[in-house]
Homo-oligomer: A and B are copies of this chain.
Amino acid sequence: MQFRKRQGETTVTPPEDHDAGLYFIGRIHTPWSDRNDCPRQGRPDGPECRIEIFPPWVDAIEGIDRFERLEILYWLDRSRRDLVRQNPKADGQRFFGTFALRSPQRPNPIGTSVVRLDRIEGPNLFVRGLDCLDGTPLIDIKPDRCAFTPQAPPKPADSPGGP
C-alpha cells in the first residue's frame, strides 16, 4: 500500500544505498488499521494504545514508570520517501516542503509523539497520545525532554554562557 503522489507534488530519486540501519525494537498496537482513520495528531485523552517491546530489549524499560510522559519514535513503514514538495490539502493550490510538514511522507519516515504512560504489564506499555496505524514498528522510547532531568552531572556547556 503506497501513498499516491498528488498532481504538482515534487519527488526526487533517493540515494541507492542507506547510510545507517534501524532495529525494530517492538510494535505499536492502536485502534486504527486504515490511514483514513488515524488522527492527524495524537491526543493525551485519545484511546489507550499498547506498545509491545520485543526481546532482547525488554530490560531497557526498567525505571520507566518514573515518567508520566514519554517520547515515542516509530517507523512509518507504509510511507513514500521521495516527496520533497507536498500538497497536504490535495487542492492543487498550496505546496509545502516536506520539512515544513509533519506528514508521514518523508525521506526518513520516523514519527514522534509524546504520550502519557498509563500502566505497564510485562513487556507492554499502555499509553495515550499516539496517532499511528496498528502494527507500526517501534524504534525508540525516551523520557519526554520537558520532564527529564539528566541523571549524569551537568557539564560546563549546560550553563548559560557555557561553551
Contact = CB atoms under 8 A, between A and B. Distances in A.
Given A24-B19, A152-B89, A56 B97 contact: no
A107 B23 contact: yes
Interface in A144-159: 145, 148, 150-158
Nearest to A82: B56
Contact of A71 (B32, B112, B155): B112
Interface string A104-147: 00111010111000000000000000010000010111110100
A48 to B, nearest CB: 13
Contact of A151 (B15, B23, B46, B94): B94
Contacts of A47: 163
Number of identical monomers bound together in the oligomeric complex? 2
Given A45-B160, A57-B107, A157-B32, A99 B141 contact: yes
Interface residues of A, number: 82
Interface string A1-45: 000000000101111001111111100000110001111110101
Interface of A: 10, 12-15, 18-25, 31-32, 36-41, 43, 45-47, 56-57, 59-64, 66-67, 71, 73, 75, 77, 81, 84-85, 88-90, 94-102, 106-108, 110, 112-114, 131, 137, 139-143, 145, 148, 150-158, 160, 162-163
